[in-house]
Amino acid sequence: MLTTCIHELPHGIHLHCRVSGESGKPLLLFLHGFPEGSFIWEGMLQHFGTHWRCVAPDLRGFGQSSQPAAVEDYKARLLLQDLAALIAIESPGAPAACVVAHDWGGALAWGLANRHPELMQRLMILNAPHPATFLRELQRNPVQQASSQYMHFLRRPDAPALLADNGWERMLGFFRTPEGRLPDWLTPALQQRYKDHWSLGVHGSCHYYGASPLVPPRPGDAASDTAIRNLVLPPDMLGITVPTQVLWGDSDPALQPALLDGLEQWVEQLGVQHLPGTTHWVVHEQPQAVREALQAFLRREVAPA
């Protein structure tokens, strides 16, 4: 049965979670991205809750979870602290059986797997670039640089107010097809659910972009070009020893398939499954493919990390 709960973390943050399955069963942790919320995983929670303990939080800054005001409150180490504390509460003394993560949730999951591999047995990533390949493409690939220009808008102080204008028209624009229409899966009822979610506050979700150093160079802005070209990520922040399955929509307009090139350099046990014709919104567009891929991954024998 699908229910909700609030987890009060030891460091003063609370996370609103959707949960299914019995406490004490192996944990599946589902992490959403921007501009989404934990509700995108409800179908997965209902499907997997018969055999697993399934937990999908609204991340810090989203929905009914804590929404601190300052950009500094969204630094990676603090967001990872949230996830580590949540795993400790939901799976005391044991790692999560799998972390399943999309977009910004995936960015956090890459970091968690790097810094705390003991907290998970497996990692499934859905259209979320590894930091090393994202940095490389932002530095060298004009197509990815152009695809990521929207990040500059979301870093603006007035972005939350502008996103809310005209019934969240700009926010809905993130879902539009190249032809400019809203996709069929985004029904009027689901649009309203998103709007209700955003109405709880979007400043925190925008701060994810403001707090990140991974920002594309802006045409005509020498300072932004210098900042990204001079950025170096320490090698010890990049390696992933946890068995990892990547599920990738190849028609993602924001994240180019080149982000997968050379990923095996940093991920020791890597599987990649391409979803042709699928855009960024993998969970909405291909729920069956996600379910089947996760089921297969959970059954697969993998070498110890």
pLDDT computed for residue 231 by the predictor: 96
pLDDT the model gives residue 88: 98
User: Which of the 8 DSSP states describes residue 121?
Assistant: S
Task: Identify whether 182 is part of a domain.
Answer: yes
- For range 225-248, the mean pLDDT: 96
pLDDT of residue 178: 86
Q: Does pTM top 0.95 for this prediction?
A: yes
pLDDT digits (tens, 9 = 90+) for 158-204: 999 999 999 999 999 999 998 999 999 999 999 999 999 999 999 99
Q: Of the candidates 118, 99, 96, which has an alpha carbon nearest to the alpha carbon of residue 109? A: 99
pLDDT above 80 for 304: no
Mean pLDDT calculated for residue range 223-245:
95
Output the domain CATH number for residue 260.
3.40.50.1820
> Residue 1's pLDDT band (boundaries 50, 70, 90)?
confident
Report yes or no on 234 lying in a domain. yes
Percent of the chain with pLDDT over 70: 99
- Find the mean pLDDT for residues 287-295: 98
Query: For the chain, how many structural domains are there in total?
Result: 1
Residue 31 sits at φ, ψ, to 5 deg, of -120, 125
Residue 141: give the domain boundaries.
3-299
Q: What is the pLDDT of residue 303?
A: 65
Would you state the pLDDT for residue 300? 86
How high does pLDDT run on average in the chain?
Answer: 97
Q: Tell me whether residue 272 is in a domain.
A: yes
pLDDT score at 155: 97
In-domain check, residue 192: yes
Mean pLDDT of 117-133: 98
Classify residue 170: in a domain, yes or no.
yes
- Determine the average pLDDT of the residues in 94-118: 98
Average pLDDT over residues 208-217: 97
Whether pLDDT at 236 is above 60? yes
141 within domain boundaries: yes
Q: What is the DSSP string of 177-224?
A: -TTS---TTS-HHHHHHHHHHHTT--HHHHHHHHH-S--PPPTT-HHH
Burial of 204 (0-12, 13-18, 19+ CB in 10 A): buried
Domain assignment of residue 206, yes or no? yes
Structure confidence at residue 305 as a pLDDT band (50, 70, 90): low
Q: Are 297 and 245 within 8 A, CB to CB?
A: yes
- Is residue 270 in some structural domain? yes
Residues 6+ apart with CB under 8 A from 74: 60, 61, 68, 204, 207, 208, 210, 211
